[in-house]
Structures are given as C-alpha cells and as structure tokens.
Amino acid sequence: MAKYVLMGRYSSQFSEGMIHTPQDRMKVVEPMLQGFGIELKEFLFIPSNPENDFVAIVEADPNNEMKLHGGVQMVYASGTFEKINAFRAFNSGEMRDIFQIGHDGISSFVSARQGAGLE
C-alpha cells in the first residue's frame, strides 16, 4: 500500500450544513473511502491555515491510483469542497530509491548547455 496526502478547502455549503447540524463527518467519510479501497490513517482539521481546511493521510494500492483519484473527483463534484488535492507521499527509504534511480541515470544525461557546446 502507498501513502497519499489529501488536502483541501471546504465550501460554504459544507460550513452551512455543519453550523446548522454539527456532526462527526468521519462516520460518513471512512466507509466512503473504504468503498474506493482507501484506508484512512489520519484526518486533521487545520482551520487557521490560509490554503487548506484539512489534511488527511490515507493508504491505497498504488497499482489502482486511478480509483483514488476517481474518489477525489467524486467528492469534489459533490460541492463539499472548493478545492481538494491528492499527492503520493514517500518514506525515507522510498525517496532514497528514487534518488538512486536518478543517480543511475545521470551518466546518460546531457544538459542543454552541454548540448550547445557551452560546457
């Protein structure tokens, strides 16, 4: 399973519903995520952040990433969010492997300056 960071800003429609009837939305969110094969690891509200109202850490099968993004688009279409983004997150070992791939490929790289004969 791969980790993803979800961040977003709620719409005024969401705030209106919550002010009218305060509720624990995790009772709705968790089963919905599970329907997309996504496991919620942590959900935090960040109300004083100027860009986002929440951040969530989820796990999903990286071979089925389109399902995760389909779920993101579905909740965006609901009008609950002004914006919502999903980003793949990597742990230290995974980033080391990513840098190793870059390291292994650098010998075949030719910069634009080298290609122009300036280096």
Q: What's the domain count of the chain? A: 1
The CATH number of residue 38's host domain is: 3.30.70.60
What is the tens place of the pLDDT at every residue in 64-118? Answer: 899 999 999 999 999 999 999 999 999 999 999 999 999 999 888 888 998 999 9
With b meaning 16 or more CB within 10 Å and e meaning fewer, what string describes 74-86?
ebbeeeebeebeb
What three-state secondary structure class fits 78? coil
Residue 115 within a domain:
no
What is the tens place of the pLDDT at every residue in 15-67? Answer: 999 999 999 988 988 999 999 999 999 999 998 999 999 999 999 999 989 99
Residue 91 within a domain:
yes
